[in-house]
Amino acid sequence: MATPSPSRAMLWHIALVMVVLFSLQCLSLGKLHVGFYSNSCPNAESIVSSVVKEASSSDPTIPAALLRLHFHDCIVQGCDASILIEKPDSGQPEKQARNHAGLRSLDVIDRAKAQLEGECPGVVSCADIIALAARDSVTLSQGPIYAVPTGRRDGLVSSESDAANMPDVHESVAVLRKKFAEKGLSEKDLVVLSGAHTIGTTACFFIERRLYNFSSGGGSDPTINPQFLPELQSQCPNGGDVNARLPLDRGSERIFDSQILSNIRSGFGVIESDAKLYNEASTKVIIDSYFDSMNSISGSSFESDFAKSIVKMGKIGVLTGTEGEIRRVCSAFN
Q: Which residues are annotated as a binding site for Ca(2+)?
A: 73, 76, 78, 80, 82, 94, 198, 249, 257
For residue range 120-179, list pLDDT tens digits in order.
999 999 999 999 999 999 999 999 999 999 999 999 999 999 998 899 999 999 999 999
Q: Are 321 and 29 in contact (CB under 8 A)?
A: yes
Q: Give the number of other Cβ atoms within 10 Å of residue 164's Cβ.
A: 11
pLDDT score, position 91 = 87
Q: What are phi and psi of 175, to 5 degrees?
A: -70, -45
Q: Is the pLDDT of residue 325 over 50?
A: yes
pLDDT score, position 26 = 38
Structural domains in the chain, sorted by start: 44-163 (1.10.520.10), 173-313 (1.10.420.10)
Q: What is the mean pLDDT of residues 63-68?
A: 97
Grade residue 245 by pLDDT with cuts at 50, 70 and 90: very high
Grade residue 215 by pLDDT with cuts at 50, 70 and 90: confident
pLDDT score, position 254 = 95
For residue range 188-199, list pLDDT tens digits in order.
999 999 999 999
Q: Which residues are annotated as a binding site for substrate?
A: 167
The catalytic residue positions are 72
pLDDT score, position 27 = 38
Helix axes 302-313, 62-77, angle to 10 degrees: 50
Burial of 222 (0-12, 13-18, 19+ CB in 10 A): exposed
Q: Which residues are annotated as a binding site?
A: 73, 76, 78, 80, 82, 94, 167, 197-198, 249, 257
Q: Which residues are annotated as a binding site for heme b?
A: 197
H-helix or E-strand containing 247? Answer: strand 245-247
Helix (H, G, I), strand (E, B) or coil at 253: coil
Q: Is the pLDDT of residue 17 over 70?
A: no
Q: What single DSSP character describes residue 329?
A: B
Q: Give the number of other Cβ atoms within 10 Å of residue 266's Cβ.
A: 13
Averaged confidence pLDDT in the chain: 90
Q: Is the pLDDT of residue 187 over 60?
A: yes
Alpha helices in 147-205 (DSSP H): 173-182, 187-194
C-alpha 3, offset from chain centre: 62
H-helix or E-strand containing 245? Answer: strand 245-247
Strand partners, 247: 201
